[in-house]
Each structure stands twice: as C-alpha cells, then as structure tokens.
Amino acid sequence: MLAYTVRRLLQFIPTIIGISLIMFCLLNVLPGNAALMAGGKRELSPELIEKMKKDWGLDKPLYVRYLIYMKDLAHGDLGQSFLRQEKVNDLLASRIWPTLRLAVSAMVIALTIGIPLGFFSALRQGTWGDSASMIVAVSGVAMPQFWLGLLLMLLFSAKMNWFPTSGYGDGDFIHLVLPAITLGLGSMALLARTTRAAVLEVLEEDFIRTARSKGLSRFLINRRHVFQNTLVLILTTAGLQFGSLIGQTVIVEKLFSWPGLGSLLVDSIFLRDIPVVQGGILMIILAFLIVNLVVDLLYCVIDPRIKYQ
Amino acid sequence: MNHDDVLLNVRGLKTYFYTLDGIAKAVDGMSFYLDKGETLAIVGESGCGKSITALSIMGLVPQPAGKIVNGKIYLNNDDILEYPESKMQDIRGDKIAMIFQEPMTSLNPLMTVGSQISEMILRHRRVTKKESWERSVSMLEKVQIPSPGRRAKDYPHQLSGGMRQRVMIAIALSCNPQILIADEPTTALDVTIQAQILDLMLRLKQDYETSILMITHDLGVVAEVAQRIIVMYAGKIIEEGNVFSIFENPRHPYTKALLKSIPKFGNRTEHGREPLQEITGIVPNLYKLGSGCSFCPRCKEAMDICKIKDVGLTDLGNGHRVRCLLCKSKREE
Ligand SMILES: Nc1ncnc2c1ncn2[C@@H]1O[C@H](COP(=O)(O)OP(=O)(O)O)[C@@H](O)[C@H]1O
Ligand SMILES: [Mg+2]
C-alpha cells in the first residue's frame, strides 16, 4: 500500500503540469490585464502601463512566460503578486488555514448529520419521518448557497443577533458557525440522500437475509452488517463532496468576507492578478487530488476485496 | 400426522404478495409435515413458490409486499406463526437453520468467514468469543475446508463458490439445529462440486441427526437424498409421496413430465439419440391464475373439465397423494 501511495503521489506531477498549462493559457487570454485594472476608474498614462507590464514580465511572449513560470514552479516558487507586495507562496500560506477550517467544519456537519439522517430515513422508509427528512434533503440540495447564506445572515445575525454577520473574528468559533452551515448544508443533504439509497440497497442484499436467518436482532444487523457495507457505497460520494466543498468555498468566503483562499481567488481574478490566481487554483486542485487519494486508501482499509499493489 | 415423530407440521399455509401488478399467491394452501431425522424434498420449477414456502417457515417472508395470510406452522406442536419476532429470532439459527441458493452473495463481503460463523454461535450459545472462534474453526473442519484455522480468517471473496457453500453449511449447522432448510444449495455450483456438497450434507445429517427440508428443481438430486417428495406447482402441492412411489408410479401428468426430463445415465448409448423431453409451455403467471387446474394449459392429458373445476388432493394410500381429476375419477369408478 505504501508503494501504491508513492506511485499515486508521483502521478500528481504530470497531472499538475497538464492542468497548469491549460490554466496558464486560459488566464492569459482573458481580456484586460492587471495594469489596466490597477488604475481602477482612473486613466493611467500609456507610459505607466507599459512600465508596469515590463516590471511584471507581461511584455514577453506567452511561451517564454510559461517557461519561466514552470521553472519557478519546479522550485516551489509560485511567483510574485502583481498588486500586493507579497510573494504568492506567503499569501497562500496565510489563507489556507481559514479555508481548511471552513471546509473541514462544513464536512463534519455534512457527515455527522447527513449519514445518520439517511440511515434514519431508510430504516423508516415510507413513514412521515422519512418523507420529512427527504424533503429537507431535497431542499438542501436545491438551494443556491449565496441565497442560503443571505437567509441565514438575515435570520440569525440581523434579526436574532446570535452570530456576527461576517468576518473571521480572531478565528473564534462563533464566526465560523454560519459560513460552515452555509457551506455544509448542500453536501449534508446530498449525503443524506446517498446514504438512504445505499442503506436500502444493502438491506436487499442476500447476506442480510443470511444474517436474519441466524436470529440476529435488527439492531445488531444494522450495526454490524448494514453500516459497514453502506459506508463502502457512500465513501466515493463523501470524497467527491469534500473536494467540491473546497471549490465552493469561493462563494461562501466572498459572501461572509472570510479571509481564505476562495475570497483571495475571487479578488485576484477581478484584478487580473494572474500569479495569485494560478497559485490559488493549483492549491485547490492539489487538495482535490489529495482527497481522492485518501478516499482510495480508505477503501483499502474498510473493504478487504480491494487490494492495491 | 397422528404419529409422534412429527417435527414440523405446516397446515394450510398461504403466503401472498401484494404488488402493483395484483396479488400473487406464491404459496396457496400448502400442508405437509417433516418427521424427525427425515429428508423431505420439495420439487418444482422456478417461480412455483418453493423459496417462499421456506422463508415462511423461517418467518422471513420479503416485506412489505409478502404476507402470510393464513395457516399454521407447528414446530414441536407449537404454532410458531403466533410467536412474536423476538421469540422467532431465538428459533432462527438455533432450531431451524437455512442455506440459500446463492453462495456468492449470501455472505457479508466485509467480514471474515470465521466471524460470520461465530456470530451465530455467540447469538445462541453462552460461550466466550474465544470459544466461539474455536468452534467456528472446528465447524470449518467438519465441512472439510482445508487448513480451517487459516481459512477462518479469510474473507468470502477469497473462497470459491463451493467453499462458500461449505461455509454456509458450517454456519447453518453450528448450533445443531433440529431442521435444516436447504434452498437449492447446489443449483449455482458446478456439477462436480454439486455432488460433493450433497455428499457432505448427507454425511453431516447423520452426525447431527438433523431433519432436512431440501428444496430443488432437480429431480436427480432428490433421488439421492430424500425419503419423501413433494411436487409443487403454482403455489400448490400437486403430488406427494415417498421417493419410491413417485419415481416408480408418478400419477400427475406434471410429475411424469418432470421425470421424463431427467437425463438417465446410459440411456443414450442404449437407445441411440433419444432427445430429452421438455415440458412444453411456460411457467404460469401467478398474477393471472384463473380457476381450474393451473397445469391445465400445458397438460397433454387435459380434459375440458380441468379448465373450470378446482380439484383437491386425492389420497392414493401409503402417503401418496395427487391433485388431478384423472386420478380422482379412476378411484371413484
Ligand atoms: N419479493 C417479491 N415480491 C413480489 N413477488 C414475489 C417476491 N418473491 C417472490 N415473489 C412471487 O412468489 C413466487 C414464488 O417465488 P419463489 O418462492 O422465490 O419461487 P421458487 O420456487 O423459484 O423458489 C414468484 O413467482 C413471485 O411471483
Ligand atoms: Mg427459489
């Protein structure tokens, strides 16, 4: 399994090279550039713009810029922000922790509520409890995040005054609650639905009939036979959800002025601060790849049929 | 049934399925008994209600569509249909155990086979975990799995179909049940493995003094293992008797046809190329059964009256019973 892990990690390299190429091309054909954006509403003199372009290396041809970028990347250097006087590495480093905190909290909400809710629904299939939880789950999946976030803000911050409207505070818990719920609710709903379907599928399996023919109680069967087999079925979905949560932080962070990777990314896109955008997207993709790897390794742990060499 | 040896006595069992297509009378008034130490075979084509009969006895009729609507099932003179679920759980595995048709899917893929045996022992016997594991290993030895100590730690996917069915037998016999229900235990296996498994079951039956309810669609299997045969068709018994009288003197046209469809060893060399006889027509749709004999549309000897008149079982003496107007009229003449 160690050899497998190492091999998978090595495979990250070509993946990242491929993606960085696509990203580089796309970002550099975007209309507008940082020099134009830097002036905001003011008209900058053509000379100044040319000077800025030269400073940032934007006057060189595209392929030269790519080669320079790749050479720096190979050294782990993501370059210099156009508009902030900081290295991209430092900028990202300071933003990763808030994003990770937000995404992990959202995932914890999704897992600890979604999975039990799905179980509850499946075991009470067809009752009003089942219907009620699935209605909640469907609305959760269907609700756009920015709308849900605004709604929560309006209700729990503006009206009830329980939580701060936005911001990071000093990294305290109270600031985390609303953004984490906003981010996690969709995944929670999706996990609940997936879990419900998975449980119903497992309950139809022949080995459940075998377990019942042994005289085991329903409780024991659910705990010992249904649960583990359900996990195998929902692990992929859970992993994908965590990956997409990291992507969705872009919206939620912007909405709640959360100083994470997502809001940095959005700001930098609007300002055409290309090195920061490239670095941020690479980070998110790396997170995706790592989550995928962890899911595959987890499979190996819970399912004896899966062996990697 | 006025002898003392009756272990299981099923009276007028009706198990119906209520679905969107209508009502399927999967088991429609079955009455039979199983003696101590006896092997009784239930034979019939696929879909005639054999498995549902077995599951009804186990109290495991598929929910929510399936329902036992009528009948009594006496185990040692106690009607187990009256039992609450908790009491049924005590019976399952301990008094009545079951082996299923699908060895590939009947074991939990995420648990070692050893723990799947020991969980049964732990459920019904007061033993420690360690003792239950040792007993599991010795059960694996009894079903002739090589190096049982190591195999107990294997997961089902590491075993072949035949080996998995041996594990199922080990599970079923681990609490020394009075009744073993074997639902087509060899159907899914290769022919050579089939013989080994049947052999094993017969030997263990002697050791454990277990009565067997053997369900099969293969009359060839029956001849080797059973003392008595029940031939089932569309949820009903259509002929019943001891192996000798069924094989030598089948009375129902369906039983006759079934017997003709068994390939007889050596027949081909003796008589040249004699084609195997198949029963023409299709298995009846349980949702569309009308009145009259359900076999009538496929019956070579059918009379006009067969289409409309329901017919009961006629006792031919010596435990041989048949549901056919042909036999009824002959007796009444
Ligand atoms: N889960 C189910 N839902 C609806 N109908 C069923 C179900 N299981 C069995 N049946 C009905 O019961 C009949 C008998 O099934 P079964 O006892 O499994 O046949 P077999 O003799 O092949 O074991 C089937 O033909 C089908 O119509
Ligand atoms: Mg069957």
ipTM: 0.89
Facing A213 at nearest CB: one of B60, B108, B111: B60
State the pLDDT at residue B267. 46
A71's CB contacts (< 8 A; 6+ apart) are: none
Question: A98 is written with which tokens?
Answer: 């808030």
Q: Quote the ligand 2 centre to B66 CA distance (angstroms).
A: 15
* A248 and A124, same domain (yes or no): yes
Question: What is the rounded CA–CA span in Å between residue A209 and residue B171?
Answer: 13
* Residue B243 predicted with pLDDT over 90: yes
Contact check, Cβ <8 Å, B168/A225: no
Closest CA to A13 of A285, A244, A279: A285
Question: B260 is written with which tokens?
Answer: 């003709």
Mutate to test the pocket of ligand 1, among B52, B60, B187, B238 (most ligand atoms within 8 A of CB): B52
* A34 and A100, same domain (yes or no): no
Contact check, Cβ <8 Å, B100/A206: yes
Mutate to test the pocket of ligand 1, among B13, B17, B28, B258 (most ligand atoms within 8 A of CB): B17
> Is the CB of residue A102 less than 8 Å from the CB of residue A181?
no
Residue with tokens 């390939």: B263
State the pLDDT at residue B242. 93
Residue with tokens 């550099």: A28
- Return the top range by mean pLDDT from A173-182, A240-249, B129-138, B270-279: B129-138
Q: Atom 18, ligand 1: which residue's CA is nearest?
A: B51
* Residue B33 predicted with pLDDT over 70: yes
Stretch 171-230 of chain A: residues touching chain B, C-beta under 8 Å:
205-207, 209-217, 224-225, 228-229
| CA angle, residues B220, B262, B275, in degrees to nearest 5 | 160
Angle between helices B113-124 and B161-173 (to 10 degrees): 10
3-state DSSP assignment of residue B175? coil
Contact check, Cβ <8 Å, A214/B123: yes
Question: What backbone torsions phi and psi does residue B9 show, to the nearest 5 degrees?
Answer: -135, 110
Per the domain annotation, does A217 fall within a domain?
yes
**Chain B residue nearest residue A231, CA to CA:** B110
> Chain A residues with CB inside 8 Å of B106's CB?
206-207, 209-210
* Residue B73 predicted with pLDDT over 60: yes
State the pLDDT at residue B50. 95
Closest CA to B301 of B250, B263, B267: B250
Domain span at residue B252 reads 241-265+276-332
Per the domain annotation, does B284 fall within a domain?
yes
Per the domain annotation, does A307 fall within a domain?
no
* Residue B58 predicted with pLDDT over 90: yes
A41 vs B: CB within 8 A: no
Per the domain annotation, does B302 fall within a domain?
yes
**Chain B residue nearest residue A202, CA to CA:** B108
The residue that leads in pLDDT, B67 or B282, is B67
Q: List ligand 1's pocket residues with C-beta within 6 A.
A: B 17, 19, 24, 26, 44, 46-52, 62, 65, 286
Per the domain annotation, does B159 fall within a domain?
no
Q: Quote the ligand 2 centre to B232 CA distance (angstroms).
A: 12
Mean pLDDT of B158-176: 94
Per the domain annotation, does B289 fall within a domain?
yes
State the pLDDT at residue B272. 47
Q: How many residues would you count in chain B?
A: 333
E-strand stretches of chain B: 6-19, 22-35, 39-43, 66-75, 78-79, 96-99, 179-183, 211-216, 228-233, 236-242, 314-315, 321-322
Per the domain annotation, does B184 fall within a domain?
no
Question: B333 is written with which tokens?
Answer: 């003449």
Facing A210 at nearest CB: one of B86, B91, B107: B107
The residue that leads in pLDDT, B43 or B261, is B43
* A120 and A209, same domain (yes or no): yes
* A48 and A140, same domain (yes or no): no
Q: Quote the ligand 2 centre to B231 CA distance (angstroms).
A: 14
Domain span at residue A224 reads 96-302
* A155 and A219, same domain (yes or no): yes
> Is the CB of residue B56 less than 8 Å from the CB of residue B70?
no
Per the domain annotation, does A69 fall within a domain?
yes
> Chain A residues with CB inside 8 Å of B110's CB?
228-229, 232, 302-304
| CA angle, residues B202, A205, A213, in degrees to nearest 5 | 45
* Residue B314 predicted with pLDDT over 60: yes
Positions of chain A with pLDDT under 50? none
* Residue B1 predicted with pLDDT over 60: no
| Number of folded domains that form chain B | 1
Q: How many residues would you count in chain A?
A: 309
Per the domain annotation, does B327 fall within a domain?
yes
